[in-house]
Amino acid sequence: MTSAARKSTEQVKRTETTSAARKSTEQGKRAGKSIATPTDEESEEGEEELEEEPAPAKKAKMTKGKGVAVERDRGKTPTPEELYDHLMNGMGWQATRFADLELLKALEIDSDMAELLGHLKMPKLLTMASPTYKELTSQFLSTLEVTYHDSRHVRQGWGKIKFKIDGRVYYMNFRDIGIVMGFQDAEETTLPRCDGLPKKLWELITGINHRTGADKNSRIRHPTVRYLHRLLVHLFYPRKQHGNVTEEDLRLICPAISPYTTPGQLPLPSTDIYAKFGMVGFFVSRLEHYRDWAWTTGDKEPKIGIGGMITPLLQAQHINLGKGGVGLNSLMEPT
């Protein structure tokens, strides 16, 4: 069996779905492409930060045990044991950057931020702040398996996850993840698309023309919108250059801005294209991405920064976090 075929087979085993049709479509978007293909926004010419990286066939050094360098094959799907060892010994860890509520209050924009997050149906992000626990997060990511449902289950919602901590198997369904994180659980896990939307939204919030790869956070005129963008990038795309603004970023923040627009300002259809967008599925797909990226990345000094978003899931399962968490950082603190 070729490496590509073996990789495809192992991915099907790893990320289960409840129908063959969903496997061929959603798994391609959430598992396969997170390993091998850049997103549209990040692959366009001139874009400075690549969120997704191809999985090269060549081997790279990994650390095992007591600092002994061995070769890791980035072109294969690792075993949970291999991935756990690499996460523990071959990756850097940094605190997840959450909102600084005290700063927002001092700037008198805390209520504005709460309102924008409410429109995005992520109200808990205003006050959420959790340390990262390296060992527990490594166990979580290295054993993470996701099931996406074709139809909404009464108890599970649109999917479920499975992971192991200290040898014990844990399950969480999308409905419960939504309750813990304050996210909407709905059918679609990818951000909606609408022709011309990123361009028009960028012009609306900055007053200048959209230029792929050249749009900067500092150009956003309203301080609350500027802070909102930085917050979402740090939480869901922690590897990106937070000062850059991609078209995917703009599609993510659109529901927070559209309620304040007049008809015709944005090229949105009459129907709500975000009605079926499930933030829970989007969040889980980001976890899958960083699970896979940790193994396939060719970065010389790779760092994981999404651990603080995993900690609430561990707490919901009453897992003993112990000591040694990576501390909290606000958006304004240096890395």
* Cα torsion angle, 8, 9, 10, 12, sign: positive
DSSP, collapsed to helix, strand or coil, labels residue 234 as helix
Q: Which residue from 147, 123, 90, 7 is spatially nearest to 294, judged by alpha carbons?
A: 90
Chain center to CA of 45: 23
Cα–Cα distance, 229 to 249 (Å, whole number): 7
Asked if 81 and 64 count as a contact pair (C-beta separation under 8 A), the reply is no
State pTM to two decimals.
0.79
Taking only the tens of pLDDT, the chain with its 335 residues reads 444 444 444 444 444 444 444 444 444 444 433 333 334 433 333 333 444 444 444 455 555 544 444 578 999 999 999 999 999 999 999 999 999 999 999 999 999 999 999 999 999 999 999 999 999 999 999 999 999 999 999 999 999 999 999 999 999 999 999 999 999 999 999 999 999 999 999 999 999 999 888 899 999 999 999 999 999 999 999 866 778 999 999 999 999 999 999 999 999 998 999 999 999 999 999 999 999 999 999 998 999 999 999 999 999 999 999 987 776 665 555 44
